[in-house]
Amino acid sequence: MNLHDVIQTARDEKKADLLLKNARMVDVFSGKIESADIALSNGLIAGFGDHDARQTVDLAGRYLAPGFIDGHVHIESSMASVAEFARAVLPCGTTTVAADPHEIANVLGAEGIRYMLDSAEGLPVNILFSLPSCVPATEMETAGARLGAAELKPFMNEERIIALAEMMNYPGVIHGDPDVLAKIELAHTCRKPVDGHAPGLSGPDLHAYLAAGIASDHECTTTEEAREKLAAGMFIMVREGTCAQNLETLFPAITERNYSRMMWCTDDRHPHDILGQGHVDHIIRKAIGLGLDPIRAIQMATLHPARYFGIRYAGAIAPGYRADLVVFSDLNEPRPEQVYCRGVLAAEAGVLSGALRWPAPPPAPNAMNLHPADVDFSIPAQGRRLRVIEAVPGQVVTGRAMMEATVSDGMAVADPDRDLLKIAVVERYTGKANTGKGFVTGMGLKSGALAASVAHDSHNIIVVGANDRDMKAALTAVVDMGGGFAAVRDGSIQDQLPLPIAGLMSDLPMRMVRDQLDRLIQTARNLGSPLSDPFMTLGFLALPVIPALKITDKGLVDVERFEVVSLFED
């Protein structure tokens, strides 16, 4: 950019590139709506007032807000490549994201982080990154890599790295694990905030967690939890994703006194929700519908995350800020009509501008080292009662149950009539195919099996099914694709979705991913699952940092005890 040109434009000594006239500007600093003309130069906002310009657009009294910011998102969870994610969220008014490449880092380590940085280079959306803090997330699973402070250090001073990402290993923090503290100290040394991840943490343990300098949390599930964390000094990211939707529950915690320390995030959002409902703009509309003042809802999508992360050039409409702007007509239901990115019209009426440049993506990495023939899903019966994972619709948390085992020929088997299904996680990195086996209720399959290589956090292959034969067929389908989702019945593949980028993302347009995923979900429903998105729920059943009972390749994990436990009651 040419700052001399911008300064001259601000003084009306040089023509602006673009003048947006007659805007009703959302001033996120004052919390007011101001009538304004805005002059743009070299992709920046140069100043206010009537200016000579090469191009003038009359907004005719429509509203103009800063581009929206997602405070915490895993792009991999959209199952689209970085560029295709950007293509999808830009028409929704999202111009900046704080992306955590935690998923691909658990598959490919530093190579995965570099792949995401390279994929984001030159895109119209301002994709910034926080460095994954938990690779692996715990020692109770096998990840594809291990990242300590030494491996993270080369990235930390890069301009697009803005934070240390969600510190999920809260026991490691409060008990002073040296490796965990080294990462936190690295972030502090580099003057980057440390994002938190501490579901349900309270009292002295919460205080110990915060004493390490952790600044935010996006895992609150109750108003009381959010209030306690706010009072203790945390910033709260209110999450509204696909599997975890916390806005309605946390809404009473958003008050005049504390909303300045709150912001929005999507965390994990699937293609059908992005394309059908929107992105951050959907959260803004929903919050306004619940009764939040529209300007506050927009501040929580713009100024607040920009201040939290120290993004000087985003989050407001002011001289020197990047000209990332959203135009809409109804303040009480903001729907982006035009989106400007770096002062260029990037999308109109939900359609991307053909003038945008989209650089070619880097080669897609692969990570699949597994032979299905080595896997045995049988479980010898070692007792009458089982510890069973309870899947909870719409949440990443799970319950725990004790159920009578169904035994056949000395083996504990699935019993679909009781919604008791077998579940397994198969390690896909070392070639050893280590397999953790257990049972789950709440998935609802009456027959067949589902398998996925998207299984948080380590993304081994997770399989759930009504019988071992279909589980093996579903596993084989995922391996043969190099990663993805599969649904099987009677040993035959019913439907599948390839995810060739590290077994996490597709290289297809998001609409095509959405359509294939919708067919897969319908196939899962035909197999009996009542869940709105069985594959999203399935992927989180392997997440051993969210209570209460999960499964990894090392076995059944009691998250509250932070240890692998016996499948059968002692």
Cα(19)–Cα(15) distance, rounded to whole angstroms? Answer: 9
Domain end, chosen from 243, 278, 313, is at 278
Residue 254, judged by CB atoms within 10 A of its CB (0-12, 13-18, 19+), counts as buried
Cα(267)–Cα(234) distance, rounded to whole angstroms? Answer: 18
Side by side, the strands of the sheet bearing 161-167 are 68-73, 94-99, 126-131, 161-167, 194-196, 216-217, 235-239, 262-265
Instruction: Provide the CATH number for the domain around residue 108.
Output: 3.20.20.140
Over residues 460-514, the pLDDT tens digits come to 999 999 999 999 999 999 999 999 999 999 999 999 999 999 999 999 999 999 9
Whether residues 38 and 80 fall in one domain: no
pLDDT at 192: 97
Whether residues 440 and 550 fall in one domain: yes
Whether residues 390 and 486 fall in one domain: yes
pLDDT at 106: 94
| Residue 327, domain member (yes or no) | no
pLDDT range class, residue 139, cuts 50, 70, 90: confident
Cα(68)–Cα(49) distance, rounded to whole angstroms? Answer: 24
Closest CA to 64 of 388, 238, 267, 325: 325
pLDDT range class, residue 1, cuts 50, 70, 90: low
Whether residues 27 and 162 fall in one domain: no
pLDDT at 457: 87
Over residues 221-278, the pLDDT tens digits come to 999 999 999 999 999 999 999 878 999 999 999 999 999 999 999 998 989 899 999 9
pLDDT at 137: 81
pLDDT at 365: 78
Whether residues 489 and 538 fall in one domain: yes
pLDDT at 570: 65
Residue bearing the bigger pLDDT, 199 or 262:
262
Peptide bond into 58 cis (omega under 30): no
Domain of 35, in residue numbers:
3-61
Task: Indicate if the pLDDT at residue 395 is higher than 80.
Answer: no
pLDDT range class, residue 9, cuts 50, 70, 90: very high
Side by side, the strands of the sheet bearing 549-552 are 549-552, 555-558, 563-565
| Residue 403, domain member (yes or no) | yes
Residue bearing the bigger pLDDT, 536 or 105:
105
Whether residues 15 and 82 fall in one domain: no
The residues, any chain, with a CB within 8 Å of residue 189's CB and separated by 6 or more, are: none
| Residue 222, domain member (yes or no) | yes
Residue 29, judged by CB atoms within 10 A of its CB (0-12, 13-18, 19+), counts as exposed
pLDDT range class, residue 393, cuts 50, 70, 90: confident
DSSP codes of every residue in 342-385: TTEEEEETTEE-TT---PPPPPPP------GGG-----B---SE
Provide the 10 A C-beta neighbour count for residue 530: 13
Average pLDDT over residues 40-60: 97
Out of 51-65, 360-374, 394-408, 551-565, give the one with best mean pLDDT: 51-65
Which residue reads 């440390």 in tokens? Answer: 194
pLDDT at 244: 83
pLDDT range class, residue 524, cuts 50, 70, 90: very high
Coil, strand or helix: which one is 471? helix
Coil, strand or helix: which one is 500? coil
Whether residues 402 and 462 fall in one domain: yes
Over residues 151-185, the pLDDT tens digits come to 999 999 999 999 999 998 898 999 999 999 999 99
Greatest Cα-to-Cα distance within the chain, rounded to the nearest angstrom: 88
| Residue 30, domain member (yes or no) | yes
Coil, strand or helix: which one is 489? strand
Length of the chain (residues): 570
Coil, strand or helix: which one is 271? helix
Q: Which amino acid is at 553?
A: D
Domain end, chosen from 224, 255, 278, is at 278
Whether residues 53 and 174 fall in one domain: no
Whether residues 104 and 131 fall in one domain: yes
Q: Name the domain count of the chain.
A: 3
| Residue 309, domain member (yes or no) | no
pLDDT > 90 fraction of the chain, expressed in percent and rounded: 90
Whether residues 23 and 137 fall in one domain: no
| Residue 243, domain member (yes or no) | yes
Q: Which residues of 389-408 are buried (b: 16+ CB within 10 A; e: fewer)?
A: bbbeeebbbbebbebebbee
| Residue 349, domain member (yes or no) | no
Which range has the worst mean pLDDT, 207-216, 320-329, 378-387, 538-547? 538-547
> CA-based angle 173:138:544, to the nearest 5?
105
pLDDT at 283: 98
> Is there a contact between 33 and 331 (Cβ–Cβ < 8 Å)?
yes
H or E segment to which residue 9 belongs: helix 3-10
Enter the pTM of the model: 0.92
Q: Is 183 left (phi over 0), alpha (psi -120 to 50) or beta?
A: alpha
Residue bearing the bigger pLDDT, 272 or 56:
56
| Residue 534, domain member (yes or no) | yes
Whether residues 204 and 247 fall in one domain: yes
Whether residues 30 and 82 fall in one domain: no
pLDDT > 70 fraction of the chain, expressed in percent and rounded: 99
pLDDT at 458: 93
pLDDT at 320: 96
Q: Chain-wide mean pLDDT for the chain?
A: 96
CA distances 57 to 6, 23, 42, 48, Å, are 19, 10, 17, 14
Domain end, chosen from 39, 61, 83, is at 61
Closest CA to 549 of 443, 398, 337: 398
Provide the 10 A C-beta neighbour count for residue 301: 32
Over residues 109-125, the pLDDT tens digits come to 999 999 999 999 999 99
